[in-house]
Each structure stands twice: as C-alpha cells, then as structure tokens.
Amino acid sequence: MPYPRTTASSAAPAVLLPLLLTLALTGVVTARAQAPLTGTAAPATSASSANATYDPEQVLVENRWAKITRGEYEAELLRIPANLRGGFATSNKRVIDLLVRMLVTKSLAVQARSGDLLKDPDIRRRRAAELDRVDANLLVTATEEDAGRAFDEKLPQFTARAKELYLSNPDKYRTGEEVDVSHILIDTKKRERAEALKMAMDVRARLAGGADFAALAKELSDDPSAQQNAGRLGYFGKGQMDPAFTEASFALTQVGEITGPILSSFGYHIIRLEARKPGRVRPFEEVAPELIAEERKKYVDAQRELLISRVREDALSRINQPAVDALTVKIDPEVLRKANELAPPK
C-alpha cells in the first residue's frame, strides 16, 4: 500500500574483504570436494549425515598459504545473526563465497606474519590492541550467552514476574480503536491535481450509481496492491497512515459509508468503511511473549553491565594524571580568539 506514514527497513551486517582480493586468490584455491570455488560445489549431503560425520579438522578449501577447516567454518558461522544462521547453508554460492573470504583473510594474515611487517613496534602494538578487542568481545558474548541460558532455566519464575507486571498496569496493553477500509487512489503524481480530482469525483458518482467498489478499485486505482486486494487495506489504527487518510477513515460511522474525494500526500482517495474494531485490553497470553522477551533482555543487559562495571570500579585502578595531562593539547584562549577573528566569515 502506498500511503503508510512510515516504513520499516532492515539491514543485515556484512564483513567483506575487497572483491578484487577475493577474485585474485580464487584462481589458486582448491577444494577437497574437487569443486572449484568459483563454480558449483559438490552436491551437499543431508544435514543429518553431515553432522554424523562432522570432523572439525576436515579441510574445506586451501591454497599455497593457508587452509580452512570445517571447525573454522563453523566458528565463522557464529558471526552471522542467529535469526539468519539457520538458512545460510541453503545456498551453495553463499557457502563458497564465505569460504573464499575466509581463505583470503587467512592467507593475508599468514603473509603478514611471515614477512617483516610485525617487526615494526607500532604495528605490533596495533595488532595487540585489535586482539584485545577481539578477546574482550568474546568474553562479553560468552557472558551474554550464559545469562540467556540462566534466564531460560528460570523461565517459570520470570513468567510469573511478567504476569505481575501485566496485572500492575493492564491499561498499558490497551489497543486503540481500529478501522478496516477499502479505497481507490487517483495519484496526483501521475497527472495534474485538477484532472485527478475530476477522476475521483467521477469514481464517486459511479459508486453512487451502484457500481461495484472492488471492481472499480481493480480497474481504476493507482494503488498497485489493488489488483490483489481490490482496494481493501485491513485494520489499522490512528497514526499508521497518512494523517488526512486516517482522519477521513475514522470519521466514517456506518459500514458501507463512502467518502467524497480525500486529498492525501499520495493523491485523491475514495474510501469505504468495511468494519470497525473497538479498543481493548490485550490478554496476558497475547502479550506474554513480549513481556518475557523484555525481561530476558533486561537480565542479559544487567549481567553484561555487571561484568563491565567490575572493571570500571576496580579498587586497584590508577590514573597517571601527570602523564595523561601531558597528552592534552593546551590552547591559549587569546590565540584562539585572534584566530577566530581572522577566519573568513561563513
């Protein structure tokens, strides 16, 4: 439908090395399954048979510098969001692309360690800092996973807590009134506004003469979804659609009542009320999964914060204040003032 006021977007995280590096190395890669990485791999076995013969030391791909084992592949999969991980291996190309990227990364790392690069003290310090970040993130992740498991083991206790929260303020879970409408859109971006208004008025006149709303929606509406839903949008509440469209929809009181042309940011609409649904308090059974998820997040967050706060509040922490002060660049206020005066106006 073309007129909700907001739309959700999502983005999945991607950690990719430059494509040229990947292509440069695929020519020297070999796969133990006798399948070139740039082509199609050998047919996959079933998940059950693959798990039955799982060998973490099995080499999946290799080149002159490095090799990637099944264990390393499985560890890399843990970097993929849990909700996407299950379907990752359904694409042969995705698996091969991941293995190639892993081999590129490992090959470059081997070359870095075998040359003179790490003899540079500054580079060694940068490398140590990166390793510290990796290890710290691993500890935080492990703490979060342990906390999640601990929460799940006490699920009945937290479910009772969720019920207490619900009963303490049931109005918090009250939904507003909703309406179900059908509409016919005459898009003002495709034609002049005056022409669009005339078309909308003609549509309204045909409906007044007994024309079928659904048939006209399929025939005339500029809403692409009209071909599938005959203009019917289903239930929505206030604040979910264009303000003018919402106001006109909620102003209808009788099922079957039809508006005149209503101008929104998308064009002119003819709207018909199909049904109304009064506001209600959602039952606990309906909101329980949300409440439990909120409690789980709070529990995991608290355990993570406890881990970090123990370091921040360590009694043995010390600051070398003179050395830290020496890192601060001190600017003479008078020099700064004169510099600002000499700067050209914006």
The answer on 148 and 215 residing in a single domain is no
When the pLDDT of each residue in the chain is averaged and rounded to a whole number, the result is 86
The encoded tokens of residue 164 equal: 């207490």
pLDDT of residue 18: 40
The answer on 84 and 202 residing in a single domain is no
The answer on 292 and 171 residing in a single domain is yes
pLDDT of residue 338: 82
Residue 78 lies inside a defined structural domain of this protein: yes
End residue of a domain, out of 100, 115, 130? 115
pLDDT of residue 141: 94
The answer on 159 and 91 residing in a single domain is no
Residue 319 lies inside a defined structural domain of this protein: no
pLDDT class of 335 with cuts at 50, 70, 90: confident
User: Looking at 32-46, 186-200, 332-346, which range is the least confident one?
Assistant: 32-46
Strand bridging mode 280-281 / 262-263: unpaired
* Residues above pLDDT 70, as percent of the chain: 85
pLDDT of residue 280: 93
- C-alpha distance from residue 333 to each of 168, 326, 327, 336 (Å): 57, 18, 18, 5
The CB density around residue 278, as the number of other CB atoms within 10 Å, is: 8
Residue 294 lies inside a defined structural domain of this protein: yes
Q: How many domains does the chain have?
A: 3
**What tens digit of pLDDT does each residue of 26-85 get?**
443 444 433 444 433 433 444 434 455 789 999 999 999 999 999 999 999 998 888 888
The answer on 150 and 203 residing in a single domain is no
Question: Over 70: is that where the pLDDT of 169 sits?
Answer: yes
- Alpha carbon distance 201, 192 (integer Å): 14
Range of the domain at 135: 118-175+282-311
**What tens digit of pLDDT does each residue of 286-306 get?**
999 999 999 999 999 999 999
Residue type, 275: A
The answer on 238 and 90 residing in a single domain is no
The answer on 171 and 287 residing in a single domain is yes
pLDDT of residue 52: 53
